[in-house]
Amino acid sequence: METKRYNFSLVLGRLNHIHIGHEMLINESIKVSKETLVLLGSAQEEGTLRNPFKFDTRKRLVEKICFKAKELRAQKIVVGFPKNMDGSEGFRADR
């Protein structure tokens, strides 16, 4: 069994208009870490120029990328991280 360099890695971004660079970043995190946490920022935003996709759509795309990764033994968690209307931060977890 291959030893992972890190116990934990974090990928943080809106990942709206997800592209090959995001895929490479997520796959590298899975490759080198036992667990990978993907935080999807602006989880409450959708239908705007900067945030056209819903959280659930972005989550499915990230999971598809993780499924294609060779290191599938790594656990991944996808979390939505919205900015609340009052400027405070909050989160919504989906496992």
What's the whole-number mean pLDDT along residues 70-92?
56
Q: Is the pTM of this model over 0.85?
A: no
Contacts 24+ apart (CB under 8 A), 72-78: 74/4, 74/30, 74/31, 74/33, 74/34, 74/35, 74/36, 75/34, 75/35, 75/36, 76/30, 76/35, 76/36, 76/37, 76/38, 77/35, 77/36, 77/37, 77/38, 78/38, 78/40
Confidence of residue 90 (pLDDT cuts 50, 70, 90): low
Please give the mean pLDDT across all residues of the chain.
77
Question: pLDDT tens digit string along 13-30?
Answer: 888 888 999 988 988 888
